[in-house]
Amino acid sequence: MAGDLAAILPTVDNSKSYTRTETETVMSPSEPGRCFKILVFSVLLALQTFGGNQMVLAKDQTQSGTALDGVPLIPREILFGNPDKASARLSPDGRFISYLAPVDGVLNVWVAPANDPTSAEPVTPDKKRGIRMYFWSYTPNRLLYLQDTDGDENYHVYSVDVNKKETIDLTPIEGAKAQMEQISHTSPNVILVGLNDRDPQLHDIYRLDILSGSMTLIQENPGFAGFLADEDYNVRFAMKMTPEGGQQILKPGDKEDWEDFITIGPEDMLTTYPSDFSKDGSVLYLYDSRKRNTSALVTIDLETMKVTLVAEDPRADLSDTMTHPTEKTLQAAAFTYDRKIWKVLDPAIQSDFDYLESVTDGDVEVVSRTLDDSQWMVAYVMDNGPIRYYRYDRSAKKAHFLFTNRDELEDQPLVKMTPVIVKSRDDFNLVDYLSLPPGADSDGNGFPDQPLPLVLLVHGGPWARSEWGYDPQHQWLANRGYAVLDVNFRGSTGFGKDFTNAGNFEWAGKMHDDLIDSVNWAIDQKVADPDRIAISGGSYGGYATLVALTFTPGVFACGIDIVGPSNLITLLESIPPYWAPMIEMFTTRVGDHRTEEGKKFLMERSPLSRVEEIEDPLLIGQGANDPRVKQAEADQIVNAMEEKKIPVTYLLYPDEGHGFARPENRLSFFAVMEAFLAEHLGGRYEEIGDDFEGSSISIPTGGDEVPGLATSLDKIESKEK
């Protein structure tokens, strides 16, 4: 949910298995070269498999004679296990291709000569958590990656010599969180990193030599939320929250102080921010929603302060840009309403896009380019198939197919994801995504032949969004016989500032109304059986699940909360220290935990205050090391439910953080969730088999509430003894 009360730089939703292009497979601590984007609060096995058609033993609680008769179950291992290959990249010099792939079940970086991808070998040594975020440096034969410990998000930066397969921890500081700030071809052996080793709340900026490991402080942080540096590693701007919830962009003054460059009001804070510079550093590229609703791509001449509009879309915010790898010219801009659409700005690449759009189906993503711009790595994102990677030769105008991220998906009965527009009760357009079970829509009109059990998915954030494309949860649930509806409720980003700001102070208010309006739409359209509707989500989506069961009991047959907060006061009182410079983000949009009036409001909007209202079955999943939504958030509501003798099933993972990164843990959780949904919605399910093998799953309470759960855990514990 890519998607979070998170790091200052772009994140992804850790409650889902993989993101839109699987280029960052779990929480991304930062994106080099694009400082300060959004502080978002996202989070987020077969009983027996055989070769060929992946037949599985299963139980089917759907009505006989349905369209699912004869449709095989897709094994959970295929959907939620490690990808075959992901995050494909070309090295800047074009000599190598790299990707993430498992080694003994753990994701590592593999590298091969670009002209011989089949000879790839692993070059990193991770044996536990798996690598999720890596980059090519501009030093020949050098990769960089980030890794934390058991989900604590205290990332270290590692350097890898791909020829010698030697790895060095470049930031071996216990308890400190490193984040990438900038990687530039102008200084190939040096990168910029942020470190909060001096003050846990603040990241200072260092030049880090990736060969020697030596670090030089270039900018101490006096209290800023983030910095923006140019490609010559000059820190050009700093960002600071205002007490009203806006943002100041500051520039260095004549002396050692900082002076105001732009002040952004709170209404534009989430949709206006600096992105990058022109090659000579004289022009700033800005995502800008001031004096308009949706954010546009604009440039600012830093000498004359002239603002030039480059690209805009009245329906959607600017979602992505492409710049030339060395010339830094703006070449394309993307906007995502229901689907992602690229607008080419530079005629020099128009023919490239024209050709790439003809190669295969799906949305085009250019995920890496060589420095000479002769070769591109291109990913094609589809809703009913795996991501397809191609190496594109620009001079020959030829795309060479490399691989998909999940080969076994090719032969599975995958379904389409359809964007639908739902009107809220106060006339907002909610861009939702609907998936139906195979064969449920016999006449092809986009709606099922008869009402179905439905799972409502709520993304994390809330300052994030759901998007079109392959989604393992959509495919899994549809395959089990459920309609799936993914909701972009108010407060979601991407649809203009009016829509985002309409979520201010509406946690458990109008944001929840949007979910109920989407449910009512599904019932009115004969998509959903009103007696068989579940709600599920991670992070904010987990909170929304708890809200649904406490504020509107009886609407949902059951709920699944993954790393969701139950008490908004304790949530805000226990934020990670490095979120402190951004506290006004929460106090001006969620509620102010520092005042008595604010605390009263926050408690009124906290599910913990209404535990006695819960009458629907609840499944909770939590990582013990979660630095954002701490374990206490799950413990509080579980303890309160137990005191009131309300049943709940609680799964706790001691080696996870804000979501489940290890595939063994994902598989165990989704196995339990599948049995839980089958029990309460009546869908078909793949029985819990060896899904707990290698998982750290523990069940503090409620093991008897889910069919097969306690027995499966006992079997694993017996084996271990």
- Residue 8 has a pLDDT of 22
Element housing 194 (H / E): strand 190-199
Burial of 265 (0-12, 13-18, 19+ CB in 10 A): middle
Inter-residue contact 609 to 601 (CB < 8 Å): no
- Residue 522 has a pLDDT of 98
Nearby residues of 412 by Cβ (< 8 Å), 6 or more positions away: 54, 72, 74, 78, 475, 479
626 is an active site residue? yes
Task: Give the separation between CA 454 and CA 481, rounded to whole angstroms.
Answer: 9
Quote the tokens at residue 200.
């846990």
- Residue 69 has a pLDDT of 84
For residue 170, give the nearest of 154, 181, 158, 179 by alpha carbon. 158
Quote the tokens at residue 607.
């599910």
For residue 193, give the nearest of 165, 168, 166, 158 by alpha carbon. 158
Which of 91, 435, 539, 695 is an active site residue? 539
What 3-state DSSP class applies to 172?
Answer: coil
Which of 319, 658, 690, 695 is an active site residue? 658
The domain covering 411-655 belongs, at the CATH homologous superfamily level, to: Alpha/Beta hydrolase fold, catalytic domain (3.40.50.1820)
230 is an active site residue? no
Ranges in the chain, pLDDT < 70? 1-66, 716-721
Task: Give the separation between CA 172 and CA 652, rounded to whole angstroms.
Answer: 29
Backbone angles phi, psi at 671, to 5 degrees: -65, -45
**Strands 528-538 vs 452-458: parallel, antiparallel or unpaired:** parallel
- Residue 641 has a pLDDT of 98
Quote the tokens at residue 108.
């590592």
Quote the tokens at residue 452.
């179905």
Inter-residue contact 139 to 211 (CB < 8 Å): yes
Task: Give the separation between CA 301 and CA 310, rounded to whole angstroms.
Answer: 13
Burial of 596 (0-12, 13-18, 19+ CB in 10 A): exposed
712 is an active site residue? no
Task: Give the separation between CA 14 and CA 562, rounded to whole angstroms.
Answer: 10
Task: Give the separation between CA 671 and CA 686, rounded to whole angstroms.
Answer: 8
- Residue 596 has a pLDDT of 98
Which of 514, 626, 690, 691 is an active site residue? 626
What 3-state DSSP class applies to 47?
Answer: coil
- Residue 404 has a pLDDT of 97
Task: Give the separation between CA 89 and CA 97, rounded to whole angstroms.
Answer: 6
Task: Identify any residues that bridge with 192 across adjacent strands, giving them in sequence order.
Answer: 182, 207
**Strands 452-458 vs 483-487: parallel, antiparallel or unpaired:** parallel
DSSP one-letter string for 266-308: GGGTTT-EEEEE-TTS-EEEEEE-TTSSS-EEEEEETTT--EE
- Residue 66 has a pLDDT of 55
The separation between CA 579 and the C-alpha centre of its own chain, rounded to angstroms, equals 18
Spatial strand order of the sheet with 483-487 comes to 417-423, 429-435, 483-487, 452-458, 528-538, 558-562, 618-623, 649-653, 698-701
Quote the tokens at residue 159.
């350097």
* Per-domain boundaries in the chain: 411-655
Element housing 353 (H / E): helix 350-359
Task: Give the separation between CA 624 and CA 619, rounded to whole angstroms.
Answer: 16
Angle at 432 between CA 333 and CA 386, to 5 degrees: 65
Inter-residue contact 470 to 385 (CB < 8 Å): yes
- Residue 444 has a pLDDT of 87
- Residue holding tokens 């000879």? 119
Inter-residue contact 415 to 478 (CB < 8 Å): yes
What 3-state DSSP class applies to 64?
Answer: coil
Angle separating helix axes 663-681 and 472-479, nearest 10 degrees: 40
